[in-house]
Each structure stands twice: as C-alpha cells, then as structure tokens.
Amino acid sequence: MKSPVTVALVGNPNAGSTSLFNALTGAQSAVANYQRVTTSLNVREITHGGVPLRIVDVPGIFSTSSQSPEEKVGCDYIHGEEPDIIVNVLDAGHLDRSLFLTTQLIETGLPRITVLNMMDEVRRAGIRIDTVLLASALGSPVVETCALKKEGIDALLDAVAAMASTTPAAATLRLHYDSHLEAAIERVQQHLSKLHPQELSPVRSRWLAIKMLEGDDEVLRHESNHVELVEEIKGEQTALAHEHDEDTAGLLASARFAFSNGLLREVRQQESDPTAGFKLTRILDDFFLNRTLGLPLLLGILWVMFEATFTLGAIPTDWIKAGVQVSTELVDKTLPEGMFHDLVVNGVMAGVGGTIVFLPNIVILFFFMAILSGTGYLARASFLMDRVMHHFGLHGTTLIPMVAGFGCNVPAVMATRVITNKRARLIAMLIAPFMNCSARLPVFILFAGAFFADIAGTVVFAMYMLSLVAAMVSAVLLNRIIPGSGGDAFVMELPPYRLPTLHSVLHHMWDSAQGFVAKVTGVILVGSIVIWFLQEFPRDITYSQDFETVIAEQTALPDSPEKETALKTLKSAQAQEKLEKSYLGRSAIAVTPLFQPLGFSWRDSAAIMTGFVAKEVVVATYAVIYAQEKGSDQLTETLRGAMPPATAIAFMIFTLLYAPCLSTIAIIGKEAQSWRWAGFSVAYSLTFAWLLALAASRIGGTFL
C-alpha cells in the first residue's frame, strides 16, 4: 500500500467513530450521545509499528447511497477517494441495524476491519458475540473496542498496521441475491466492462452495477453520457419490479437484511433477558418523555443549569476580579506615565481583564452541556420539542443544529447538513444564528448582574428561552418569504442513557475554557487595543472650553467639598468631550440616531459596532470605554448608572438577535453557496433585533 496508508473510519451515526478517532489519534474532536455531531471529515496522521497511517473520520452514514448533504460527504469520500483500508465501526448493541451498512461496504471490495464498539454495554446486557465466526462470515478481522474507555485501541492499531504491511488479497466475499437480480447485475456489469475496458476490476464493475440498479443518483450521474447503459438500467429495473412486485432498491435491501439476520442468528447469543439491558432506559424515558411532565421538566432542568451557571460562577469570578484588580494596580504603579501606560492599563488590562472574569461561567455552562449531551438527555430534549416546533413550520431535524448553536453558531450552521430538503436547510441556516451561543453569555451575565442581581440566573435563562422563541417565530416568517415546500420527516433514534466518563466531561470543560481563553488573548486583546486607539486619537482636540485653565484655577482654591465636587465635574466633562470627539466617539455618534429610539447612547452604539467582529468584544468595549472615562474598574457599578433597566433589557435583546459574528456570516455564505443569503441574514437579523428591542424598551419603560 502507498504511504501513508489511508484508513477511513466508517459507521452509522452515533456508532462511536469520532470517539474511536480521538482514541486512535489523540485528537479532541467533539462527541456527544446523539447523532450527527460530526458533519465533516476529520483527518490526522499517526505512526504505529513503523507504519505511517492517515486516519480519516467519516461523518456517520446509514447507507452508501445516502442523500443528505452531511451524509453525502461520507458517501462521496468512499466513492471517490477509495481509502486503502476501511475500519467499519459498528455499535455492537445494535448490530441488526449496523450490519446493513457493512453489507454495502463488503461490495466495495476494499480491505476492511470490523470494529465492535461499545462492547462494555453488550457484556452488561448479557450478550455474547462469536467474533471468530463473525470475522469468517464478513471476510475481515474483527476487533472489540470501547472507544470512550480506550479499550481495544492497541489491538485495532495492530490489526491496521498488519493489514497495511501486507499485499491486499483480491476480495472474494460477495452477497448473493435473487437469481433474477444476479442476472441483471451480470448484464449491467458486462455493459460497464465494455464501456470501461481495462479500467474496472470485476469487483468494482459489480459494485457499480449494483449501485446503478439500486438507483444511486451520484453513480448514475457519472454514467449519464452513456445513453444505452442508462436505458438498459431502466429496463432492468422495470423488469425486476414486474417480476417481484417490488422495486430494485427494495429487493437489494431485503437481501442485505436477510444476510444480516441470518448472520446474527449464528454469531450472537443472549444469555439473559434481552430487554433487561434497556429496563433503566425505559423507566427513565417514561419519566422524562412523559407527555404531561416532559416539557416542564425540560424547562426546569434548563433553569437549574443557568441559575447554577450564574450563582456557582460568582465565587471564582470574584477571585479572578480581585486578581485582575491587583494586577492592574501593580502595572499602574510600575509603568511610567505616558501613552504606553494608558494603552496597557486602560486598553489591554481593562478589555482583557473585563472579559476573562467570565471564564468560570463559561466552564460551568459547558459542564452542564457535557452532562446533558453525554447522558443522552439532549437527544430527548429534541424529541420533546419536535411537537412544538411543527407548529412553527420547522422540521424535527432542525433541532440538531439549534442545539449545537448553544455552543457556537458556526458548527450550528454546518450541522444543517443533516437536512436534505434545500429550502428547509436554508431556513435552518438563517435561524441558527439566533441561538444563544456562549459568546453572548458574558454580555448577559454582565447586564443581569448589574441590573437584576437578585434574579440574574433567571434573566440569563429567559434570554436562552427568548432565543428559541425568536428562532421559531423567524421560521414562520421565513416560511412565508422563501418560496418552495416540502421537507424531511423527523426520524431520530434515541440513544440509551449513558453515564458520561469523567474524562469526556473534563475534556468538554477544558476545550471550552481553551476556546474562551484563546478568544480573550486573540480577538479580545486585539479588539481592546484597537478600541483604545480609536478612543485616544486624534489627540489635538478643540474643546468647547479651556478645561486645563479652569481646572488649574479650581485646584488653586482652598480645599473644600465644593472644590472636590467642582473638580470631579470638570474632569468628567473633559473626559466626556474627549471621548465624543475621538474617532470611536465620532463613528459611534454617526450611527447613534439609528439606536436612539431604543434608548441607546453612543457608547452602546460603539459596543454594538465592535460586536460585529465577535460578541465577546461588546464587554471589552464597555470595559475600555468606562476605564478611560470614569477611571473605574467597577464596570458593573458604572454600567448600572449609565442606563435604566428597561434599556438594559432592550440592549440584551438586541445583542442576542442582531447580526451574526463575521465567522458565522462567512459560513452561511459558504454553506448556502450564495453571499446574498449571508447578506440577507445580516439585514433580517438587524431588523428583527431592532423591532424587538424597541418593543422591550417601550413596554419595559412602562413597568421598570
């Protein structure tokens, strides 16, 4: 085989391919206990036993003829790239379903290794699998693994290295179909061999013949210029349907399931009650999926999650605040006065320090998310919400990208690949940015703590619920605007309840912490410096009065409370005028008329403008502006005095809904294959956010 040897991990969704990829390569790709977490190829190179290996994690597929954009990635890879070795990852507890894909992989003729993953669950359920007999029947080595616990990984790597070090033998195993079907395959195979002499091996031509008779759109498209072949295929399909009263795809599927069922009767033995292993899942589902209690329970669990995120996070947040304050005072005293001093203290320390304090809240939120996704409850939350979503014209599969959006909107847009209908997918892409991503969390924690300290956790929970409602209402509107119809039926397999491993939970928290710190030390740091320069320049400002002279005259007066008050007022007015005439102030004041109906000042406008880059920069902007103007490190107290509570609610709503960050806009343009839809997303979300914030400002102003 060529070097490095390409090894493709191929299996059904939620079979554990990505967990196995992580265990094999040391990668930290996202995993969860529900389907469609992996939507694109993951590639890493390793060396085992002196053999260079290129490991490719292929998104889960149920069939090699799958049609959804996300499954098409996997199918196209198998069809087009032809990896050197296929590692077929099977959920050992669901072999009845998993082997259907195996039967199709056998027909590719590629060297295979069969992996029985999640064997710990199979053993607990009292199931025994004769792996020797299974290996003989499938014509491939069989390795038992538990990827999450990293069991069987060395054995799998040894098997891959051994296969890579030998010359692959010609594939001899083949599934045998009905005699009429076999005759049709033979005729199409001969036709293909004539059209592509010396190009196709017997195994390859048989596989193509089967795929064409099955009606695989991609394979048929490749051969569409051979009109006689296409006509022959149609004739064979018609004849087979007439003889068997069933279409060719159904005949092939029946034969594959018959092979799987017969094989399992030989290799699988149940040593105890086959339903015993699912008893706990049934009991828990009766409770969590109860038609009456299910939704209230879901809301209660989410409320506890956000309340705990705020209240538990307050303790370490105070520690970090104290550390930032001590560091700022130390730097303030150490550095000599001048522009560099101001840049570090009022720019970098204020912006970065004002944002990093929210790290504990981010980590705690992702701890709960890891528990919910790892146990399988998140999949059940999707199931519970499906009934509600249908009232808003959304398909159940839309829930998967919406759930992903709670972490970050970029993978949420990519996760819409699970939706096969183009119009439904476009609508899902356009509403995905409304989901309250973790980047917005620092803004809500800052405002909730400043204005609604007694119910801060509930306020954050309300913002998450509002993001769901906004997405659903937008779906109704977009369904009326975007022409077309149709969509997918919601079919989602509920995984068994699993206890998340400590490693996976800690990794989830560590990964979120790393991501947040990377943003703080990257885009937030750069943003803070840029904002400081924009508010510091130009330096030759013409003030409305000679502040320096007036301050000097006031300073010369005898000490008194009136003198101190007058000096404070003069310095504040000077700082105010300096900010308003800076580049930041001028640009923000220019757009402020757009936001004045919402009650926003030019400082709020500046924060909104910088939030286009990344929503975390909103907090950094406030921190830099108020550090310069007030000379205060108590951002929460300063913010509380800068606007009424009703305006604070309007600002939170606007931040929740207005334009996606630049990364999300870029991915919408790429996935929709049109920058017009990316532009539409920005315009629509700005309009929607403005109208809702206006309503909140007016209604809230009446009561608060």
Asked whether residue 12 is marked as a ligand-binding residue, the answer is yes
Asked whether residue 687 is marked as a ligand-binding residue, the answer is no
Q: How far apart are the first and last CA of the chain?
A: 72
Asked whether residue 354 is marked as a ligand-binding residue, the answer is no
Asked whether residue 346 is marked as a ligand-binding residue, the answer is no
For 295-329, give one letter per residue: b (16+ CB within 10 A) or e.
eebbeeebbebbbebbeebbeebeeebeebeeebe
Cα 699 to Cα 133, 322, 470, distances in angstroms: 71, 38, 18
Q: How far apart are CA 461 and CA 549, in angstroms?
A: 52
114 forms beta bridges with 88, 142
Under the phi-then-psi rule, with left for phi > 0, alpha for psi from -120 to 50, and beta for the rest, what region is 173? beta
Q: What sign has the CA pseudo-torsion 696, 697, 702, 703?
A: positive
Helix or strand holding residue 268 (H, E): strand 268-270
Asked whether residue 119 is marked as a ligand-binding residue, the answer is yes
Q: What angle do helix axes 359-375 and 377-390 make, rounded to 10 degrees?
A: 90
Asked whether residue 117 is marked as a ligand-binding residue, the answer is yes
113 forms beta bridges with 87
Asked whether residue 14 is marked as a ligand-binding residue, the answer is yes
Asked whether residue 495 is marked as a ligand-binding residue, the answer is no
* Number of neighbours of residue 607 by Cβ within 10 angstroms: 25
Report residue 225: phi and psi, to 5°. Answer: -80, -10
What's the token pair of residue 272?
A: 């105890």
Cα 381 to Cα 377, 400, 442, distances in angstroms: 6, 10, 25
Asked whether residue 84 is marked as a ligand-binding residue, the answer is no
Q: How far apart are CA 306 and CA 54, in angstroms?
A: 41
Q: Are 188 and 233 in contact (CB under 8 A)?
A: yes
Q: How far apart are CA 142 and CA 165, in angstroms?
A: 18
> For the purposes of burial, counting CB atoms within 10 Å of the CB of 641, is it exposed (0-12), middle (13-18) or buried (19 or more)?
exposed
Asked whether residue 672 is marked as a ligand-binding residue, the answer is no
What strand order describes the sheet that includes 5-11? 42-48, 51-57, 5-11, 85-91, 112-117, 142-144
Asked whether residue 215 is marked as a ligand-binding residue, the answer is no
Helix or strand holding residue 85 (H, E): strand 85-91
Q: How far apart are CA 178 and CA 315, in angstroms?
A: 69
Q: Beta 127-129 vs 5-11: how paired, if at all?
A: unpaired
Closest among 379, 428, 424, 371 to 405, alpha carbons compared: 428
Asked whether residue 118 is marked as a ligand-binding residue, the answer is yes
Asked whether residue 605 is marked as a ligand-binding residue, the answer is no
Cα 463 to Cα 19, 367, 503, distances in angstroms: 33, 19, 31
Query: Please, what is the Cα angle at 669 between 13 and 530, to 5 degrees?
Result: 110
Q: Are 317 and 362 in contact (CB under 8 A)?
A: no
Radius of gyration of the chain (CA): 31
Cα 225 to Cα 76, 231, 467, distances in angstroms: 20, 11, 49
Q: How far apart are CA 393 and CA 145, in angstroms?
A: 42
Q: What sign has the CA pseudo-torsion 160, 161, 164, 168?
A: negative
Asked whether residue 374 is marked as a ligand-binding residue, the answer is no
Question: Which residues make up each annotated binding site for GTP?
Answer: 11-18, 57-60, 117-120
Question: Which residues make up each annotated binding site for Mg(2+)?
Answer: 22-23, 25-26
Question: Which residues make up each annotated binding site?
Answer: 11-18, 22-23, 25-26, 57-60, 117-120
